[in-house]
Amino acid sequence: NAAIDTDAREQIGHDTIEAEVSEMQQRVKDIDLALRKISKGRYGYCEKCGKAIPLRRIELIPEARFCIECESKLRK
């Protein structure tokens, strides 16, 4: 029983780390995209509606690609 519990904990730990790595890889892609947008003068604008992303959102999530309204529609 102890071996099964240990195996289960190890698998959960592995799955958690794998999910975190995947999330960080996506964030790096989003940051690279944000840097390209800066060079093109399109940084800070929603990719869906084209409106300026509120400064407070940009301060919290510099790589944000969408305004809050469009982001919430995409998540549904």
In this predicted model, what pLDDT tens digit does every residue of 1-57 receive, in sequence order?
A: 556 667 767 777 888 899 999 999 999 999 999 999 999 999 999 999 999 999 999
DSSP letters for the chain: -HHHHHHHHHHHHHHHHHHHHHHHHHHHHHHHHHHHHHHHT-TTB-TTT-PBPPHHHHHH-TT--S-HHHHHHHH-
Q: Are 68 and 54 in contact (CB under 8 A)?
A: yes
pTM of the full predicted structure?
Answer: 0.71
